[in-house]
Amino acid sequence: MLHTERRDDPHGHSQTTSSTITPVDRGAGASGDSARFTAIGFFPGLGSRAAYRGVGLETIGSGFTSVGAVYDEAAAALGLSSASSLALTPANLPADPVERQGFIGAAVLTHNIAIHTDLVERGRRAGHPIFTAFTGESFGMLASAVAAGSLTIGNGVILARAFTPLLLAAANQRASGTFGDALEQYMPTYSSSHPPVAEPAHVIALRGAPDALERVLAYAVEHHDDSIELHKRYSRHQANVYVRSSFIPSFADILRSFPEVSAEELKEPTRFLAHSRKMTRAREALDRFIDAHGIDIRAPHTPLISNSGGGFLLTGDHVRGAVLAMTNEVMHSQRTVELIDDLRPDLVIEIGRGGKSLDLLRDNASRPAAVMGSDAADSSRIVSGAALAGRLTHTIDALRSGATAHPDGRDITLLRDLTSLAANEPAFARYLTTTACALAASAEHDSEPSAFREFRETLQFTLAHRHHLGAGELVVNARQKKRLVGSRRSLGRAYTELRILTARGTIRDREVSATEDTEALVIHFERPRRARASETARAARELLDSQPAAQRLRDAIVDHLRREDRPSRSLGATIAHADMIDVIIHQVTMFELLKQHRRGLVGQSHVFLDGSDPVGWLLALVAGGAVDPGDVIELGAHVIAPRSPESRTSDLVARLCERIRDATLPLLSPDGAPVLARHDLHAATVAVFQRGHARGGRRSIHLNASCTVIALGSASRLARLDTAPHANAVIVVRAADEFWHAGLNPALDRADSRVLLTSSPERRATAAYARRRNLLHTTVSSYVNAGETVVGFGEGGSESMTIFFRRDGGDEVLVRKVLSEALTTARWDPAGTGPMLPPFTKAKRQAEYLAALPDALRPFFPEVYDVVEREITLPDQARGERVCREVIYEMSYVAGDEVGQYVREHTPPAAIIARLYEEIIGFVHRNVHSERRTPSPGATIEEQYFRKIEDRLDLCRQTAPRTFGPALLDSERIVINGRPYRNYRALLSEFRANPAYASVLESRFHSLVIGDTNTENIKIGDSAPLLRAQELMQAGASDDRVARALSDITAESIRLKFLDPRAIGYRSDGADTRDDPMYDNKPWHNSIGHYDEMHNELFDLDVSSAADGTPSISIAFHDDNPYQRAYRVSDAVEHGRPIDRDHPRGIEDHFADVMSTVYVRAGESSDHDADDPHWITRFVFTMGTHFTAMPPFHFSSEIEGTLVDSPDVQRRPIAIYCEGIKWLNWALEMLEGTRTEFLGVDVRSEVFAR
């Protein structure tokens, strides 16, 4: 569709001032024309004429008769004897210098049209390319008009021969002889003493920022209009001007007043001043010449793009205006390139010689790939490449239809041909890269047939790694990994594992260096140099004028300033205040634009924020969401202001620290370690301003990762960053449009393209999982082998990694479970036993446990296939090397949803969860606890519970001595949510002091146990019965229908399965595991114990202490989180609220009924009742021990493996510890007789008579 607006130019010709043509639809879902490879032809101007020396029909080398006909028609129109007379050889050139220039113009046009004709002939046979528009630089517009059918070849060469002589006449340079006589009637008459061009002009390129160029041009127009004249808007950063030779000394003085603008002389001074207003009379002469020769300028069959800012040319009048504009209108080459980009062609072809059109496209950061077609050999390569590209689009359409399961032989051959094309033709390499990146970006949102995904990823990976490939090789998979085993020099470094389809069709694996791909993204903020303050202010204003993100930032600052008192300030302080606001708006908006326009680069990377100086740190705090933008203005202005009193700094820092909250992205502290939590950001802020004015020195980054560092606006301190021994790549983004306009920042474009070319569903899933686990994606990928495809990750497991994968050629999903010291934060004793068994040893015991299960239970657990034990050596930037033990085992995949996942996604009514618990606990009691059943050995409480708590908490003290230190652990009392409780030492003392308590708490028998029935470790194979009951309840169905639906929920109907057994019993483990069956009531800890909310960190925690040192912990769970909506826990025990069994609302109201079905049946004494008469007390006690001994599994480490020892970061183990303290207190109260009821279950009071 075409839209145009018309205006009349000063010479009476209608022009197009703005027009748009709907670009060719490149949607991959289309058919027909969607597979056509489109091109725009770009004809060079006379500035390239030196490249045509000796060029003729033989040079073009085309065998098509239509190409010879071009020369024949041109020769006939010019009155030449033969086509060979148009060769630009010395023998053919006229003697007269003016006539010679006219002949050169005509010959250049002929040669270019001959090349175009050869291209068209080849393209017609191949079906590609399809020209969607033509354009040219200055004189090139004539050839464009011929190519588009507006001019015949004969008329085109006649105009070309006349053009230069008519313009030279303005400088009193006229042709002699017959040719001169023929032109004389059209020549403008000038006074011989005052011609329009009285002296030569220098052709000067002015370069600088757009606003700087406009300032110097405006000055020239206002003060020196006769001596300095703009003739070409080359690009946003370059304008070309004519400067009179006699004015050059004055011009040099003018340039000294504009130091931000540079100048370069482009060629020798000339009197040929095309595109100068001095050529107005020459335009009139050319207009008369056209009329006198009856030259018919028709509407083009293919749109033309004006070179003088006129938009798209669609009528004969439009084209005539563009031809005349070659004389006296300013060239607007920048606008020409913008319109080319708007049409989104696949390729721009410079049809001719010299490469100046390619330079123009490059300097304007044109998006499409571009290539030069200078002869028939070039045409052949272009058409062959276009045909392959067309096949690519057709193949993509076919594979997206989902008709085939895998790419076939033709598809593989096409990929090999495309790889060869990319290796030999840079323009097509760029086109293919752009296409592959677009496919990769769309794949993030679209579902894909498997054949299309395999084809797309092979194309991406092969293009990304083609420099590592031999002839005919394709990369079918690529995975960046961290080196965990091997030589010490390479340990901890990243490499890329390529799975290669060889030219012979075999598969090989190859490891290559990952020099182009980094593991982490660091965003660098810093204070701009004082000399650049005006540039920062200008950039901030431009962002405010155009970017909503900047406007939102300004609004937040204005709102903040309205609320704050405004102290009177000195002039210097006021300027510093304004400067700081500009810096915030500029750099923080730049970060928001990076996230908005380079989503792949940010989304698939682990992002860290770096502030290398005090102002940079403040900007990082704002960008990371740790403070509001207005919070840092006063302190930042204080730092910027000259001669600011140091005494005030500490007060401003303290005021800022009061407002700091947890960041959404980690900041790199002054020591180079990532920090995220409020407390640590507070400490780091103080450290920054204590050290902040130190100059020089290296700034080490402790991420144990290669990094891409992006500096936003300012980069003077970048050289200080040190990621050794890992590599880093530095990218400086100076202007905001570099984010959305490809080509303005090649380094940024390359980084963005690399991320897209190496992306895949697996890479995105791995990166997301790694971020959740605070690991590098390369570390996670290190546990995936060549020939495997990741299907997903298990979200459970406190300090383990669970990977779901398939092996090439197989459909079975397998599970790899990794327990490694490298993945644990607490430092377990490798020789630990029982409850202190280290996680990596526990993994081996789990494998043994599963292998030894009774036959009747095997269908309800995964099957173990393979177990590997090994040691790995990890380099550590801060602490040197450390050796880590790990166990990796593989097992069968259990399909379905984890119970916790089901609850999170569906938020079922509490009645359904209660029914689910009833089936889980009942199944375990009936089927698991009936195996290996023996009398309890007795006297297990001390070893199994009390010492476990002490040993585990000692491990916590070693791991995080500040967080789990005396202040938290050694007080007699602890206050949790405003209620006092006995702390663990007092609790254990009370438990130990009364032997009767042990007799109540001791189990009567031991049996096989699962040991960890955390609902993350229980899977539902078929959730349909659960969802059916939920649908009925939410629809208000009758009680009978709901009751029947609930009764349909059975272990069999939902295909219940169990994962991750604890594999540790009382003085037993692995295949011999036996223990207290009470361990297996753990589902309740997920709900009424808030474990799901704590594990997912859906809570806020505050730690303080009373005057006497008693610790006070406040834990507030986030309102309306999915677990709260499902479980509806009211903390009835903690708050002393009654339970309503008749009208249950939350899961607590169902507790008594669910547990009674297991321990008390129909009100009669049962086997379980006899076996466990004090089950409710033992249940509460066991829950308390679970939680109190659990913190070592829940410490959070940073990405490089260090632990930040602060309550803010380690809030999860603190919250878990506090939950355990509450339960142990309730159990002790039950033993003491002060608590006689628990969630609707009566405590057996006769026990306490002893």
Residues 6+ away with beta carbon under 8 Å from 26: 34, 344, 346, 393
Q: What is the pLDDT of residue 201?
A: 94
Mean pLDDT of 1080-1107: 94
Residue of 135, 124, 107 whose CA lies nearest to 66: 124
Amino acid of residue 314: L
Integer angstrom CA distances of residue 1175 from 27, 892, 913, 933, 1078:
66, 35, 22, 17, 8
Find out whether 139 and 324 touch, Cβ atoms under 8 Å: no
DSSP label at residue 331: B
pLDDT tens column, 264-291: 999 999 999 999 999 999 999 999 999 9
Mean pLDDT (the chain, rounded): 89
Is the peptide bond preceding residue 129 cis, with omega within 30 degrees of 0?
yes
Domains of the chain: 198-270 (3.30.70.340), 377-513 (no CATH), 520-757 (3.40.366.10), 783-893 (3.30.200.20), 929-1012+1061-1249 (no CATH)
Task: Report the distance separating Cα 796 and Cα 801, nearest Å.
Answer: 8
- Tell me phi and psi for residue 632, to 5 degrees: -100, -5
Average pLDDT over residues 409-426: 95
Orientation angle between helical segments 316-328 and 153-168, nearest 10 degrees? 30
**pLDDT tops 60 at residue 655:** yes
- Give residue 7's pLDDT band: very low, low, confident or very high (50, 70, 90): very low
Q: Taking Cα atoms as reference points, which of 655, 577, 656 lies closest to residue 617?
A: 656
Of residues 383 and 442, the one with the higher pLDDT is 383
Average pLDDT score over residue span 214-231: 93
Q: 464 burial class (0-12, 13-18, 19+ CB within 10 angstroms)?
A: buried
Q: How confident is the model at residue 1245 (pLDDT cuts 50, 70, 90)?
A: low
Per-residue pLDDT averaged across 372-393, rounded? Answer: 95
**What is the H or E stretch that residue 1190 is in?**
none
C-alpha 728/C-alpha 520 separation (Å) is 9
| Amino acid sitting at position 455 | F
Q: Evaluate if residue 23 carries a pLDDT over 70.
A: no
Whole-number CA gyration radius for the chain: 39
Q: Which two structure tokens, joined as six digits, stand for 163?
A: 């053009």
Tokens coding 418: 């495309």
Tokens at 155, concatenated: 């008329």
Q: Which amino acid is at 871?
A: E
Whose structure tokens read 């938290």?
968
Q: Residue range 1208-1217: average pLDDT?
A: 93
In the block, tokens 């969401």 appear at 625
The whole-model pTM stands at 0.82
Rounded to whole angstroms, the Cα distance separating 450 from 806 reads: 14
Confidence bin at 1196 (pLDDT 50/70/90): confident
Token pair 């239970």 is at which residue?
857
Q: How far apart are CA 386 and CA 38, in angstroms?
A: 8
Burial (CB count <10 Å: 0-12, 13-18, 19+), residue 150 = buried
Give per-residue pLDDT as tens, 330-367. 999 999 999 999 999 999 999 999 999 999 999 999 99
> Mean pLDDT across the stretch 761-778?
90
What torsion do the CA atoms of 1121, 1127, 1129, 1133 make, to the nearest 10 degrees?
-150
Task: Tell me the residue type at 1034.
Answer: Q
Looking at the predicted structure, is the pLDDT value of residue 21 above 50?
Answer: no
pLDDT of res. 918: 96
Tokens, residue 271:
């009197």
531 with 537: CB under 8 angstroms?
Answer: no
pLDDT score of 1249 more than 80: no
pLDDT mean over 1058-1077: 91
Residue 797 pLDDT class (50, 70, 90 cuts): low
pLDDT at residue number 693 = 43
| Chain-centroid distance, C-alpha 877 | 26
Write out pLDDT tens, residues 568-623.
Answer: 778 888 889 999 999 999 999 999 999 999 988 898 888 999 998 999 999 999 99
**CB–CB of 844/867 below 8 Å?**
yes
Q: Which is nearest to 578 in space by CA: 557, 559, 592?
A: 557
Taking the C-alpha atoms of residue 824 and residue 843, their distance in angstroms, rounded to an integer, is 13
C-alpha dihedral over 599, 601, 602, 603, to 10 degrees? Answer: 70
Dihedral sign for Cα 559, 564, 567, 573, please: negative
Q: 3-state class of 1211 per DSSP?
A: helix
Of 519-528, 695-704, 726-735, 1121-1130, least confident by mean pLDDT is: 695-704
Q: 506-557, pLDDT tens digit by residue?
A: 999 999 998 889 999 999 999 998 767 788 888 999 999 999 999 999 999 9
Q: Token digits for 682?
A: 């507070």
What pLDDT is attached to residue 4?
35
**Percent with pLDDT over 90 in the chain:** 71
**Environment class of residue 686 by beta-carbon count within 10 Å: exposed (0-12), middle (13-18) or buried (19+)?**
middle
pLDDT band at 173 (very low <50, low <70, confident <90, very high): confident
CB-based contacts of 485, cutoff 8 Å, min separation 6 = 491, 870, 872, 873
Contact call for residues 834 and 1067 (beta carbons, < 8 A): yes
Q: What pLDDT sits at residue 1200?
A: 64
Among 917, 907, 896, 921, residue whose Cα is nearest residue 794: 896
Q: How confident is the model at residue 503 (pLDDT cuts 50, 70, 90)?
A: very high
Does 1189 have pLDDT greater than 80? yes
CB 1028 within 8 A of CB 912: no
pLDDT band, residue 1133 (cuts 50/70/90): very high
Which of 1218, 925, 1250 has the alpha carbon at shortest distance from 1091?
1218
- The token pair at 652 is 């401003």
pLDDT value at position 484? Answer: 87
339-353, 390-404, 481-495: lowest mean pLDDT where? 481-495
Tokens of 1014: 């955390």
Structure tokens given for 156: 């085109």
Q: Specify the higher pLDDT residue, 160 or 713.
A: 160
Q: Which residue has the higher pLDDT, 444 or 304?
A: 304
Q: How many helices and strands (H and E) does the chain possess?
A: 46, 41
Amino acid at 220: A
Q: What sign results for the dihedral spanned by CA atoms 68, 69, 73, 79?
A: positive
pLDDT of residue 135: 98
Q: Is 635 left (phi over 0), alpha (psi -120 to 50) or beta?
A: alpha
Residue 1114 has pLDDT above 70, yes or no: yes
In this structure, how many other beta carbons lie within 10 angstroms of the beta carbon of residue 545? 9
> In the prediction, which pLDDT does 532 show?
73
Q: In whole angstroms, give the CA distance from residue 284 to residue 187.
A: 9
Under a CB-based contact definition with an 8 Å cutoff, are residues 805 and 790 in contact? yes
